[in-house]
């Protein structure tokens, strides 16, 4: 739908803000876990906590504003997300983690200003249009939909793990396969 395309580009703009302003987004940082010492996991846990609070805050503000079209769209979206089994959710989350890693790492490593923005934006556009699962964005949708259940909570945890596995896997393949080229 048109809303999905608009949402994909708005989310892409959001990730562009994250990387240019060096904000701490779980899905933008977890892929680098293998590049840091063991204490980095504590930073990741703090980032997750902060990201969840941010999603709760923004979702609650929009919910309180009674912005009907956004709330109703979120309800339909969450219904679709939670109709999947946990293995599907895990796979879609891994793919999202890979796309987020590509978007963030591409932005860091590409020198050409236009190319780095294109890679960053389209990593998000691709994952949104293909229906991949972004754990942190889904906090916002779950709040808007007011669809709370144990399955929702379990799905969220699976999404967090899947996003992490996908991003770390891609970084690991690049690192141990000697595939990374810096400053292209």
CA max distance for the chain? 51
Position 184 scores a pLDDT of 44
State yes or no: pLDDT of 2 exceeds 80. no
CA angle 127–129–135, rounded 5-degree value: 45
User: Stretch 160-176: mean pLDDT, rounded?
Assistant: 97
Q: How many whole angstroms separate alpha carbon 67 and alpha carbon 90? A: 31
Q: How many whole angstroms separate alpha carbon 19 and alpha carbon 9? A: 15
CB 18 within 8 A of CB 25: yes
Position 3 scores a pLDDT of 78
Position 1 scores a pLDDT of 63
CATH architecture of 2-176: Up-down Bundle (1.20)
| Of 96-100, 148-152, 175-179, minimum mean pLDDT range | 175-179
State yes or no: pLDDT of 136 exceeds 90. yes
CA atoms within 13 A on the CB side of 38: 0
pTM: 0.93
The DSSP string of 10-48 is HHHHHHHHHHHHT---HHHHGGGGGGS-TTHHHHHHHHH
State yes or no: pLDDT of 26 exceeds 70. yes
């Amino acid at each position: 739908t048109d809303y999905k395309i608009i949402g994909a580009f708005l989310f892409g703009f959001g990730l562009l803000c994250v990387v240019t302003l060096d904000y701490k987004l779980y899905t933008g940082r977890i892929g680098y876990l293998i590049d840091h010492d063991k204490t980095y996991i504590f930073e990741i846990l703090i980032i997750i906590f902060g990201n969840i609070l941010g999603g709760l805050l923004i979702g609650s503000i929009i919910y309180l504003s009674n912005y009907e079209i956004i709330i109703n769209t979120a309800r339909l979206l969450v219904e679709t997300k939670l109709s999947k089994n946990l293995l599907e959710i895990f796979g879609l989350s891994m793919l999202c983690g890979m796309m987020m890693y590509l978007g963030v790492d591409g932005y860091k490593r590409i020198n050409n200003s236009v190319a780095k923005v294109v890679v960053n934006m389209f990593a998000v556009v691709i994952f949104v249009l293909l229906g991949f699962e972004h754990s942190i964005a889904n906090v916002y949708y779950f709040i808007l939909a007011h669809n709370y259940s144990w399955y929702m909570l379990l799905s969220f945890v699976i999404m967090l793990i899947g996003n992490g596995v996908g991003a770390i896997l891609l970084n690991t393949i690049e690192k141990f396969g000697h595939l990374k080229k810096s400053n292209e």
